[in-house]
């Protein structure tokens, strides 16, 4: 396990510029999912697809802001009327013309720390519906501590 974590950390270090990683702000009692996506595709293409998909999923997803390095949106559903904040931080990769994306979904209301995979699925459904999940060499790195419900979640959208 330790070896795996070290290997992941080295991998991320090689491929992602960590300068742009948002400092994690602790949000106790707000369920969240943080995940890291690596693409062998430039960030501008990733950004276009994510933004287009957020707009296509309106009104459950609402685009709040977008610029070349970040995308902000929110999501609401019958299951979670208070909704979730969603952010993507995009970093061009150092060694390849790819993109490293830190994606996060956080429940706005106070929730049980069992969110049934809601926050994970908010991110996963964008990835899946936009087709980004099947781009060659796509990788996701997260675990059940960084991303509540990861590994249990079966996303329906
Ligand atoms: C989501 O963003 C829209 C557009 O700015 C806003 O009207 C709505 O209140 C927001 N929803 C939540 C749950 O924050
Ligand atoms: C959600 O986003 C709003 C608007 O940016 C912010 O005021 C609020 O603190 C965020 N809530 C959480 C739990 O991240």
Q: Is residue 140 part of a domain?
A: yes
b vs e for 46-83, b when ≥16 Cβ sit within 10 Å of the residue's Cβ? bbebbbebbeebeeebbbeebeeebbbbbbeeeebeeb
Q: Is residue 157 part of a domain?
A: no
Q: How far is Cα 16 from Cα 21, in angstroms, rounded to an integer?
A: 9
Q: Is residue 81 part of a domain?
A: yes
Q: What is the distance in A from the centroid of ligand 1 to the CA of 74?
A: 6
Q: Is residue 33 part of a domain?
A: yes
Domain count, the chain: 1
State if residue 27 touches ligand 2 by the CB under 6 angstroms criterion.
yes
In the numeric block, the tokens 């992602």 are attached to: 16
Q: Is residue 45 part of a domain?
A: yes
Model pLDDT, residue 115: 76
What CATH number is given to the structural domain containing 104? 3.30.310.80
Per-residue pLDDT reduced to its tens digit, 90-103: 999 877 789 999 99
Indicate whether 23 pLDDT > 80: no
Q: Which ligand is nearest to the CA of 107?
A: 2
The domain containing residue 76 runs over which residues?
A: 2-152
Indicate whether 1 pLDDT > 50: no
Q: Is residue 31 part of a domain?
A: yes
- Kindly state the DSSP code that residue 110 receives in the 8-state scheme: -
89/78: higher pLDDT: 89
52/93: higher pLDDT: 52
Both tokens of 37, joined, read 């996506």
Alpha carbon of residue 102 to chain centroid: 6
pTM for the model stands at 0.85
State if residue 74 touches ligand 1 by the CB under 6 angstroms criterion.
yes
């Amino acid at each position: 396990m330790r070896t795996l974590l070290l290997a992941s950390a080295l991998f991320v270090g090689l491929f992602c510029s960590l300068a742009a990683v948002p400092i994690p702000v602790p949000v106790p009692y707000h369920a969240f999912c943080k995940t890291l996506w690596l693409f062998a595709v430039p960030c501008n293409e990733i950004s276009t697809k994510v933004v287009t998909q957020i707009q296509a999923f309106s009104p459950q997803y609402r685009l709040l802001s977008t610029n070349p390095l970040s995308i902000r949106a929110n999501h609401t559903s019958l299951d979670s009327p208070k909704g979730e904040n969603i952010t993507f931080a995009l970093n061009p990769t150092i060694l390849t013309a790819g993109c490293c994306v830190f994606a996060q979904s956080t429940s706005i209301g106070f929730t049980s720390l069992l969110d049934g995979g809601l926050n994970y699925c908010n991110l996963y459904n964008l990835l899946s519906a936009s087709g980004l999940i099947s781009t060659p060499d796509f990788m996701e790195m997260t675990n059940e501590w960084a991303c509540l419900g990861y590994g249990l979640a079966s996303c329906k959208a």
